[in-house]
Amino acid sequence: MRALITGVNGQDGSYLAELLLHEGFEVFGTIRRASVPNLQRIEHLKDKITLYYADMADATSLHRAVAESQPDHIYNLAAMSDVRVSFDVPMYAAQVDAVGPLGLLEAVRLEAPGCKLYQAGSSEMFGMNPSVPCNENSTFYPGSPYAAAKVMAFHCTRNYREAYDMFAVNGILFNHESERRGVEFVTRKVSRAVARIAQGMSGNLVLGDLKPKRDWGYAPDYVEAMYLMMTASEPDDYVIATGETHSISELLDVAFEHAGLDWHHHVSFDASLFRPTDPPVLLGDSSKAQEKLGWKPRVRFEELVRRMVDHDCKEEAFGQLGLKAMQA
């Protein structure tokens, strides 16, 4: 069996590559050409997977990757995933997160018609919908260009499933974090700041609104859900979530307390970090996935946050030792 993962060097892509290799797949992945390579998450896998340069904004590169790898599974995890930045570059967000998946669906239809495809959705698609928790039948009410683009990709995936009898599924994953989360996301901003402050390196963390509540899970748990969707007997769409919410204030409470710190002494606010529109609550109901796929979250919020803080504290301590060694 062969699998192609777009965005294989991201948080989810790296965990998924590990899982698929464990399951006996030959793994291919796409990465974007960048001035500074971003391969640290898959450094330990580079001799086990085949990489292609491709971009969701370049349909030709997607066709080439699909045609050459001839995969049995495709997991589309590549995205312009910064919700706040999508307001600044809405056309780019639409090209990558909406038109890009459509191009990938076409590539599968034309180059590998028997291939199964997973499309990464987002809880942001429910956005400003006040009726929570949200499940597979809830109304989409996107609150950002990013979310609107993801809604289009969702409907394109469902349409290709129905029009061309493709095994194409949508995973509507609520927020999921880990030690490999990108440093631009709030959970990792917090865990890295705690680590630096604990090491005496930095005394201030700048954030935006602390009131929004999110349904936060652990990325490796959610990657398992992706695989279960693709190995199910029939294609379908699933919400993946923990069923509980926590505010950013609660995130700060757990993270700083774990390091013996009081966040009130270290956090300041910048209004420019606020989004023009921001869902106050994102809460998911994964009952369908639990019933039909046998999936359930294992790592809960407090443990997730503590794992991230512990990881970043070790990273910062190791960095400090290396710096002292260089200076000696």
Tens-digit pLDDT profile for the chain (328 aa)?
999 999 999 999 999 999 999 999 999 999 999 878 889 999 999 999 999 999 999 999 999 999 999 999 999 999 999 999 999 999 999 999 999 999 999 999 999 999 999 999 999 999 999 999 999 999 999 999 999 999 999 999 999 999 999 999 999 999 999 999 999 999 999 999 999 999 888 778 999 999 999 999 999 999 999 999 999 999 999 999 999 999 999 999 999 999 999 999 999 988 888 889 999 999 999 999 999 999 999 999 999 999 999 999 999 886 654 444 444 4
Other CB atoms within 10 Å distance of the CB of residue 294? 9
For 46, 51, 107, 284, the CA distances from 11, given in Å and listed in that order, are: 15, 16, 24, 21
pTM attached to this predicted model: 0.94
3-state percent breakdown (helix, strand, coil) of the chain, nearest 5: 45, 15, 40
Tokens of 224: 């398992």
Residue ranges of the chain that CATH labels 3.40.50.720:
2-177+216-240
| Single-letter residue type at 75 | Y
The domain made up of 186-214+246-281+301-327 has a fold known as UDP-galactose 4-epimerase; domain 1 (3.90.25)
Residue ranges of the chain that CATH labels 3.90.25.10:
186-214+246-281+301-327
Q: Which residues are catalytic?
A: 122, 124, 146
Superfamily of domain 2-177+216-240: NAD(P)-binding Rossmann-like Domain (3.40.50.720)
